[in-house]
Amino acid sequence: MAVLITILLIFFYSKRLLLFNEVSEFDIANIESARISYPRGLNLYELNSKELEQLRAILDSQEVRKKLIPNIQAFNSDSYIFINGKETETTYSINFDYKRNIIGISENRKPMDQYILKKDSELFFFVQNLIKNNVKEL
């Protein structure tokens, strides 16, 4: 039995990386606006049109791996992006756990799906840079 479980774990963890738009119903082209913050932040920063284009490009090429066993309790939200789609009722949030290289995505306040990113992910650098330059600390 232990051998079977080990084989299944190896199979799931060795699956190829998927593009962000393959694992999410999130339509990157329909991003209307996005705001960014982090827990100790004083304000939400609204991305300008150039930053929105950068975000779209990064998400369009971002590779992720679905987290096999999500652990919502251990997820540490270091920062957030709140995204509004062109349809007014569609909203997404992406929560970032930098230490564990995980993002959590939820649509319209549904339960979070977790994905693993590469340690040197461009998405992490992009968000951290925006926060460093635009969000004031408490």
What is the tens place of the pLDDT at every residue in 70-84? 777 778 888 989 988
Residue-wise DSSP of the chain: -HHHHHHHHHHHHTSPPEEHHHH----GGGEEEEEEE-TTBSSPEEP-HHHHHHHHHHHHH-EEEE-SS--TTT----EEEEEEESSTT-EEEEEEETTTTEEEEEETTPPPEEEE--TT-HHHHHHHHHHHHH--B-
* pTM listed for this prediction: 0.79
What is the tens place of the pLDDT at every residue in 31-58? 889 999 887 666 789 999 999 999 999 9
